[in-house]
């Protein structure tokens, strides 16, 4: 949460005594705290999808990326869990997931070995040597700065709620928000150094597969001859998220709370704004077709008879007959294309498309969000059930 420093100072001068020797009344204290809290709540920051990682000591290049586990709190604010559960937190039936269920990828072999020494291997849930006090590890998240925020001095505040202990921790820091042109200036070396942790410019990155064009259905045959072939742009971003192919239709669900703002925002809004990165949020992952969520229904296509008879005396057909596509699921390299094909589903951890498991198989991963999605099943965040995408 952010509060402009001038507003914060005004709360103090307005509601508390100016004399250092005068003691404030309880009413003055309550009015002051209410003023400050309102200032912070007016600028609640949103998490950056896919930004969470657990860093080893102060080595910016040694970290493990994790899948964020989130929950909706008061006024639809999104809270994030720490990816490292306390000792026996899950084993004793508490909320959260096992340590390795949050792990996505290690930046190098060294940090993976350190992680195993601290928390055990993938067979250990929440009983690692450093589970209760992981002093060598830092949980790092990123938040968006609202683009309409005025430059200036601010206070940033955050809050930790302990899970196993009846404790609540808060913290704050002074920050300065500068205009984008100033932040991107080549002369701003100090700003670039501060951004170094986020940019990871000097860290070797794991190999990333090159993007491959996803299968595209051939355009329909025009009823009248044309003199020029249509031109299809390959650079302009789509304005509508993919919703159907392969004899099935996916319908986006209405987004709840602040995500939908009573119909102001839809899945298409987030698809055009940030694309697949927003699928890290459980609400969008479950509600939006481009994330593999939404409501799937089958359709039966019927062909209407041609209105114009075909002449038997034509010397040659105007176009070659199109061939039906029978591509297997593993031929799709793009998640949105994979999830729109009847019988296919996306494996999150391996990032491949495969045959979709059935409900009977997916049900064994109820209450296990990451394993459910890693196996190509659909996670229902409300009921915490694991289901098959296609029945």
Which string of b and e fits 64-102 if b means at least 16 CB within 10 Å?
bbbbbbbebeeeeebeebbbbbbbebbeeeeebbbbbbb
Question: So what's the pLDDT on residue 274?
Answer: 67
Stretch 304-323: mean pLDDT:
41
Give the span between the Cα atoms of 360 and 388, in whole angstroms: 8
The pair of structure tokens assigned to 389 is 């995408």
Question: Greater confidence, 227 or 105?
Answer: 105
Question: So what's the pLDDT on residue 262?
Answer: 79
The pair of structure tokens assigned to 26 is 């309880």
Whether residue 356 has pLDDT greater than 50: yes
Whether residue 4 has pLDDT greater than 70: yes
Q: Mean pLDDT, the chain, as a whole number?
A: 76
Whether residue 84 has pLDDT greater than 80: yes
Whether residue 103 has pLDDT greater than 80: yes
| pLDDT band at residue 38 under the 50/70/90 scheme | very high
Stretch 82-99: mean pLDDT:
90
Question: So what's the pLDDT on residue 31?
Answer: 95
The pair of structure tokens assigned to 334 is 């793009």
Nearest to residue 330, comparing CAs of 341, 321, 315, 314? 341
- Give residue-wise pLDDT tens across range 118-140: 999 999 999 999 999 899 999 99
- Give residue-wise pLDDT tens across range 370-387: 778 778 888 776 677 888
Tell me what percent of the residues of the chain surpass a pLDDT of 70: 72
- Give residue-wise pLDDT tens across range 175-188: 999 987 655 554 44
The pair of structure tokens assigned to 95 is 């909320």
Question: So what's the pLDDT on residue 309?
Answer: 46
Whether residue 312 has pLDDT greater than 60: no
| pLDDT band at residue 196 under the 50/70/90 scheme | very low
Q: What is the pTM of this model?
A: 0.49
User: What are the percentages of helix, strand and coil residues in the chain, rounded to 5?
Assistant: 25, 20, 55
């Amino acid at each position: 949460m952010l509060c402009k420093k001038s507003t914060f100072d005004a709360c103090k001068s307005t509601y508390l005594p100016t004399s250092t020797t005068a003691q404030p009344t309880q009413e003055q204290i309550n009015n002051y705290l209410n003023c400050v809290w309102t200032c912070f709540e007016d600028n609640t920051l949103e998490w950056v999808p896919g930004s969470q990682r657990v860093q080893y000591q102060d080595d910016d290049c040694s970290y493990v990326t994790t899948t964020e586990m989130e929950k909706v709190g008061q006024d639809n604010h999104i809270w994030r869990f720490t990816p490292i559960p306390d000792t026996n937190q899950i084993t004793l039936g508490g909320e959260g997931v096992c340590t390795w269920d949050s792990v996505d990828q290690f930046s190098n072999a060294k940090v993976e070995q350190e992680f195993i020494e601290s928390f055990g291997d993938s067979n250990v849930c929440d009983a690692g040597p450093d589970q209760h006090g992981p002093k060598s590890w830092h949980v790092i998240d990123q938040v968006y700065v609202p683009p309409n925020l005025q430059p200036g001095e601010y206070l940033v505040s955050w809050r930790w709620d302990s899970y196993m202990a009846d404790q609540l921790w808060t913290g704050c820091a002074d920050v300065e928000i500068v205009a984008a042109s100033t932040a991107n200036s080549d002369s701003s070396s100090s700003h670039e150094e501060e951004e170094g942790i986020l940019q990871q410019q000097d860290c070797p990155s794991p190999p990333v597969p090159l993007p491959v064009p996803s299968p595209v259905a051939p355009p329909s045959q025009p009823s009248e001859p044309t003199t020029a072939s249509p031109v299809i742009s390959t650079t302009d971003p789509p304005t509508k998220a993919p919703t159907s192919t392969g004899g099935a239709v996916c319908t986006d669900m209405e987004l709840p709370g602040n995500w939908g703002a009573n119909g102001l925002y839809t899945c298409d809004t987030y698809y055009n704004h940030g694309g697949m990165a927003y699928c890290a949020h459980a609400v969008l992952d479950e509600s939006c077709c481009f994330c593999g969520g939404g409501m799937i229904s089958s359709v039966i296509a019927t062909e209407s008879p041609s209105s114009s008879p075909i002449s038997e005396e034509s010397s040659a057909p105007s176009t070659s007959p199109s061939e039906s596509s029978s591509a297997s699921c593993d031929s799709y390299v793009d998640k949105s294309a994979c999830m729109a094909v009847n019988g296919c589903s996306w494996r999150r951890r391996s990032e491949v498309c495969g045959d979709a498991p059935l409900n009977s198989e997916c049900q064994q991963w109820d209450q296990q969000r990451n394993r459910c999605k890693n196996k190509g099943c659909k996670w229902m965040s409300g009921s915490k059930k694991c289901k098959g995408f296609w029945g």
